Structure 1
Amino acid sequence: MVSSVETLEFQAETRQLLRLVIHSIYSNKDIFLRELISNASDALDKLRLESLTDSSLAGIDTDDLHIALEVDADARTLTVRDNGVGMSRDDLVDLIGTIAKSGTAGLLEKIKESQDAATAENLIGQFGVGFYSAFMVADRVTVLTRRVGTESGTRWESDGEGTYELQAVDGLPVGTSVTLHLKPADSEDGLADYLSGSKIRQIVKQYSDFIRWPIRMAPEQAAAEGESAPEPETLNSMKALWARPRAEVAEEEYNEFYQQISHDWLAPAETIHMRAEGAFEYEALLFIPAQAPFDLFSRESRRGVQLYVKRVFIMDDCEALMPDYLRFVKGVVDAHDLSLNVSREILQHDRQIHGVRRRLVKKVLGALKDMQAKDTERYAKVWGEFGRALKEGLIEDTDNTKALLELVSAASTHDPEEPTTLRAYVERMKDGQDAIYYLTGETRAMVENSPHMEALTAKGYEVLILTDPVDEVWVDRVPDFDGHRLQSIAKGQVDLDGEADGDEAGDAEKAKREEEFAGLLPWLTDALSAHVKQVRLSSRLTTSAACIVGEAHDVTPTLEKMYRAMGQELPTVKRILELNPTHPLVTALRTAHGANAQDPALAEIAELVHGSALLAEGGDLPDPARFTRLLTDHLARTL
């Protein structure tokens, strides 16, 4: 009995991606075979794992799991066949007919914007949709597959234009075969001869040599009559790179293995090869990438390294082995003493895994520290790519706060071009300076032009310029570095005169000013009570009339906005208005208040001073229309 054929349409995003893959993404068409072999390897891994964990599959034969490449020169077909887990009809629809992942629109936009073919290939590989690359070399693709544990199989076929066909098929073996009906050799695409054994060997060696399953190809010449058929040729080495001594592994081998597991075709910035022996034995081969993946800060991004047990693949993205802030680290951990039946839930509570995780983290942070000391240029690039993620560790990982602080690199007023470490900042601190000064903000320009910077700049104090959103959080979680507290120059009291010399003349001058403004300050506090908790004199201003500051433990306005953007409402925090006692506007306001405290124009000027201070720090006015009207009215009176 022959079943009917269904014709279905690709999802709209899938059609867009197909067009991009076929016509504009891959500069190297050889990539298609790498992607299909990688998919076949995943299917074999899944079958091995399911046979170990699903009792209904206990009788499945997994002794000869492999990938077979079959060429038919007459029919111009190339088939990639595996005896892995296989797919059901629904799997085919979900995995090939639909891109069933969030972020598709963003991915397509990034690919379209990319002017670099290598970057576009990297995005495609990371997103896991390399199957579509088959249509670069084939004008039709046929998939025959049967899911393990099912009786019937499915045929999938498409020309990649907009629709695909599905048909139930009986009698298929478990596994998947992908047959590419190759375009004519003389087509305008300029195809290489993918029916050539030497070409296929070259591609497999270059891209798939470390696949753990044998990749076999039938001999090109059939056996002579009366002779036994020659054995299939195994094309890949299948070497477990992590199990070999480091001295025996060439850098090129490390790079090839990294490219295979990460789909990042740049060489890694750092390779970490380690072996632990004793009560719990394992090998680890970790890589710090040279560039961040496009989805580094996406919730759906892949996190964690691959876990093997005695060279048997257990799971991808083992989050229990690597903290979230090191999610960019790629690699393999091969444990000798875990059960093959281990689950993600078990790993979360396994003491041995926690111990492995601690050692891996220290190894990665140590490698970054060594890079920082020995190759500052390379480290600067790595920090530029992953610094924001690493700073998340200052919030999450209190055990490694000291090591992470040593790695922090930040812009500062010391050098407009080169960032600084906290260690270098401390070495440059002025005599008598106790605190490490910093200011957070949206951009470097906003921070540098902030009124809060004026007195510190004038007196030669260095200020860290922190513009990452995560900076708003970690600086409040870290009390000090090397015994020096971290002090926001926009929060609390900043007494530069007292810190610099503490002389009695300075104290006397401060007392005199407090007395001169004794009438104005409480009046202003009352007049602006809807917006501020206090008005006081400032020691941090030299040219601006006023600035807004918070108490030492107040939430910053930027952090408040971040929480609200995430749907978390916070109680309104009133802040402090500081006045520059030497500014002409402030001294004139003091004089006018002394002459006639009841003048209604004074309250309006107080609103303008407060609003101007808000705008100077990049804040939002409580009533922009009223501020504009008051400003224009007072400007008109002066003309």
Structure 2
Amino acid sequence: MNTSKTYSFQSESKELLKLMIHSLYSNKEIFIRELISNASDAIDKLRFLSISEPKKYPINTNYCINITIDKKLNKLTISDNGIGMEEHEIINNLGTIAKSGTKKFIQSLKSNNSSHQHELIGQFGVGFYSSFIVSKKVLVQTRSAKLKINEGFLWESYGKGDYTIQKIEKKEFGTDIILYFKKTEQEFIHHWKIQELINKYSDHINVPINIKKFNKKQNEYTWEQVNKAQALWVLNKSEISNQEYINFYKHLTKDSQEPLTWTHNKVEGNQEYIILLFIPSKTPWNIWSREHKHGLKLYINKVFIMEDTEQFLPNYLRFVKGLVDSNDLPLNISREILQNNQIIQKIRQTITKKLLNTLQNLFNNDIKKYYVFWQQFGTILKEGPAEDPQNRQFIMNLLLFTSLKHNNSEQTLSLKKYTTNMAKGQNKIYYITSDSYESAKNSPHLEIFLKNDIDVLLLFEKIDEWMMNYLNEYEDKKFCPANKPDDFINKLIIPQINEQNLQNKMQPFLEKIKKILGNKIKDVRVTYKLVHTPSILVTEAKEMSTQMAKLFSAAGQSVPSIKYILEINPEHALIQKISKIVEEKNIKDWILLIFEQALFVEKGTLDDPNQFINRINKLLSI
């Protein structure tokens, strides 16, 4: 007789199991979805191995998932003839809960947003543990297709922090999940209920799901198939309902929310393949993590080959979920071969265009849904102009902004709409980048634009400065930073008085500023583009901007110090007051003050803010 070994779940398992049982109880029926999905994945893995390595793995044409209900014992068994597990795989898959992301999952379960807690279960890879929501005890009998005949293992747990494993005899490879329901969960021992849940969550699974039922006429037990068991993507689009697409998406992604939209295409010609692609409605919790895996599922002639095939998608579309089923790729293809395969590159180009067209259709036909998309994935799509020059103009049509005239931070303005509403004589698209919406909106660089009713795009996300380096023009209109005005703006800021005479009149004061500030600035000059602000700092047209310097610095790259030009507003009362001060000591503090003010506005920070405050206090006390 084989003795059992007792193991403890890893560090956070007790807390996790407790939280799952209580927090997800209102969505307890999802256990059937998760367990059938796992069984389907196990069959997909063995199907692939039996085709790619037929000498090592048996070929089976009768893959299926069988469900048995025992009402007397209050027991449900879900069996598959998939890949099965070895002992170390059992420990890794069923005993190791505390893996990457578990802490975030636990925090999510603890949060007040309980209505969305069930959405996380599949995404965090803990779907098997949903069985403890309804079960007092769970058994797993499994035999790996890699092991000798009859050599299997039994895993057993009450979901209270530990589990046991022992060797057993098991004739067939595959896995049996045996659930002993709690007394409160009697609804799940009825055939009609399980069939209803399978039709609701798992009808699209492409292997037969059979339920064992007693046939009164024949006086014997028979197996009844309760799902369609057909690969959904090979069907004609006209045969597939929207709900079937949605259910398949949820199965594919472990996401309980509906997708925003999808595209389903069969491509014929030199290469034949099918693509089924979904745009999710919510950003995955880990999409910004370096460990985040993305990409499409790859099938070859309906045989599952690999997960997360990133070679089919450009990085700026990494939020897309779906699959590719090709007739032309070899079954033993590797990720390395995928990287340099010409067929893959052509499929990638087609997929990219299909997705951009799908987003454009969403933009044209359902702008509310597109706004949802933009809120979730707009920052990622902004990587597109740099990454994909071939489709840059197309991507630009999909970008959304806010602007000076919009008067709120929501990005709902397209470049098309901006250019349509440009001022008379305006031939450039003006924009400003900053650290936040408020700082962009209130930048003194925009005072001349406000005064003349000219709109300016307000960019305040970290990626924006980098993106703008790749946006040269849109519909023959060049982009122009608002802090580096062009001839059109310069004409608006020439005052009625003689500019040169005023410049000459201010020259002694400008020289005094240069002397006091020394190498802190590159130059000082008079400006008429300011209305309410005494001074600002600018850079030359071809020099690095402040926002770009911040971007490089945040990436850990060395950045040369920026030499700014100080521009002063001769019509501002403070500048007029300072220019009349004679005492050397006082004028030095005033000049340093207006410089530090401008530096603070430009950079959002000062090297020595305490010195700045002391200077203000000193001047106020005079």
CA contact under 8 A between 1:304 and 1:318: conserved in structure 2? yes
* Structure 1 position 620 matched with structure 2 position 611: no
| C-alpha displacement of 1:192 | 4.6
State the one-letter code of the partner of 1:300.
Answer: E
Per-residue deviation, residues 374-404 of structure 1 (Å, max 9, x unmatched):
2222222222222111111122111111011
State the one-letter code of the partner of 2:161.
Answer: G
* Structure 1 position 383 matched with structure 2 position 374: yes
| C-alpha displacement of 1:497 | 4.5
Q: Indicate the larger mover: 415-424 or 469-478.
A: 415-424
CA contact under 8 A between 1:210 and 1:257: conserved in structure 2? yes
Structural mapping, 1:75-114, within 5 Å: 75-99=73-97, 101-114=99-112
Q: CA RMSD in A?
A: 2.4
State the one-letter code of the partner of 2:599.
Answer: L
Judging changes above 3 Å, is the alpha-carbon distance between structure 1 residues 577 and 20 closer, same or farther for their aligned structure 2 residues?
farther
Judging changes above 3 Å, is the alpha-carbon distance between structure 1 residues 9 and 556 closer, same or farther for their aligned structure 2 residues?
farther
Q: Secondary structure at the match of 1:149?
A: coil
- Output the CA distance in 1 between the equivalents of 2:110 and 2:567: 50
What is the aligned-residue identity percentage? Answer: 35
| C-alpha displacement of 1:231 | 4.2
Structural mapping, 1:161-560, within 5 Å: 161-171=160-170, 173-184=172-183, 187=184, 191-221=185-215, 231-417=222-408, 419-490=412-483, 492-494=484-486, 497-500=489-492, 509-560=498-549
- Output the CA distance in 2 between the equivalents of 1:530 and 1:609: 16
State the one-letter code of the partner of 2:207.
Answer: W
- Output the CA distance in 2 between the equivalents of 1:114 and 1:302: 28
Per-residue deviation, residues 177-207 of structure 1 (Å, max 9, x unmatched):
21111111xx3xxx25212111111111111
CA contact under 8 A between 2:204 and 2:231: conserved in structure 1? yes
Judging changes above 3 Å, is the alpha-carbon distance between structure 1 residues 627 and 219 closer, same or farther for their aligned structure 2 residues?
same
State the one-letter code of the partner of 1:442.
Answer: D
- Output the CA distance in 2 between the equivalents of 1:97 and 1:526: 72
Judging changes above 3 Å, is the alpha-carbon distance between structure 1 residues 520 and 243 closer, same or farther for their aligned structure 2 residues?
same
- Output the CA distance in 2 between the equivalents of 1:374 and 1:245: 24
| C-alpha displacement of 1:606 | 2.2
Q: Secondary structure at the match of 1:437?
A: strand
State the one-letter code of the partner of 2:402.
Answer: A
The residue number in structure 2 matching 1:128 is 125
- Output the CA distance in 1 between the equivalents of 2:300 and 2:283: 28
Q: 1:142 aligns with which of 139, 147, 155?
A: 139
| C-alpha displacement of 1:8 | 2.2
Judging changes above 3 Å, is the alpha-carbon distance between structure 1 residues 537 and 15 closer, same or farther for their aligned structure 2 residues?
farther
Judging changes above 3 Å, is the alpha-carbon distance between structure 1 residues 485 and 522 closer, same or farther for their aligned structure 2 residues?
farther
Per-residue deviation, residues 277-312 of structure 1 (Å, max 9, x unmatched):
100011112122223222232333341221111111
CA contact under 8 A between 1:6 and 1:167: conserved in structure 2? yes
| C-alpha displacement of 1:558 | 4.1
Per-residue deviation, residues 580-628 of structure 1 (Å, max 9, x unmatched):
2211222233333xx46xx133332222112212333461111112112
- Output the CA distance in 2 between the equivalents of 1:14 and 1:557: 48
- Output the CA distance in 2 between the equivalents of 1:215 and 1:424: 52
Judging changes above 3 Å, is the alpha-carbon distance between structure 1 residues 2 and 116 closer, same or farther for their aligned structure 2 residues?
closer
| C-alpha displacement of 1:461 | 0.9
Q: 1:629 aligns with which of 609, 614, 617?
A: 614
Q: Indicate the larger mover: 86-95 or 406-415.
A: 86-95
Q: Indicate the larger mover: 509-518 or 197-206.
A: 509-518
State the one-letter code of the partner of 1:107.
Answer: F
| C-alpha displacement of 1:124 | 1.9
CA contact under 8 A between 1:557 and 1:619: conserved in structure 2? no
| C-alpha displacement of 1:507 | 9.2
TM norm structure 2? 0.93
- Output the CA distance in 2 between the equivalents of 1:309 and 1:26: 39
- Size of the alignment, in residue pairs? 618
Unpaired segments ≥5 residues, structure 1: none
Unpaired segments ≥5 residues, structure 2: none
Judging changes above 3 Å, is the alpha-carbon distance between structure 1 residues 132 and 559 closer, same or farther for their aligned structure 2 residues?
farther
Q: Secondary structure at the match of 1:12?
A: coil
- Output the CA distance in 1 between the equivalents of 2:124 and 2:160: 21
Q: Secondary structure at the match of 2:294?
A: coil
- Output the CA distance in 2 between the equivalents of 1:586 and 1:155: 84
- Output the CA distance in 2 between the equivalents of 1:338 and 1:176: 31
The residue number in structure 2 matching 1:11 is 10
State the one-letter code of the partner of 1:292.
Answer: T
Judging changes above 3 Å, is the alpha-carbon distance between structure 1 residues 153 and 532 closer, same or farther for their aligned structure 2 residues?
farther
Judging changes above 3 Å, is the alpha-carbon distance between structure 1 residues 394 and 107 closer, same or farther for their aligned structure 2 residues?
farther
| C-alpha displacement of 1:159 | 1.2
- Output the CA distance in 2 between the equivalents of 1:293 and 1:376: 22
| C-alpha displacement of 1:221 | 4.4
Q: Secondary structure at the match of 2:188?
A: coil
| C-alpha displacement of 1:13 | 2.9
Q: Secondary structure at the match of 2:397?
A: helix
| C-alpha displacement of 1:529 | 4.2
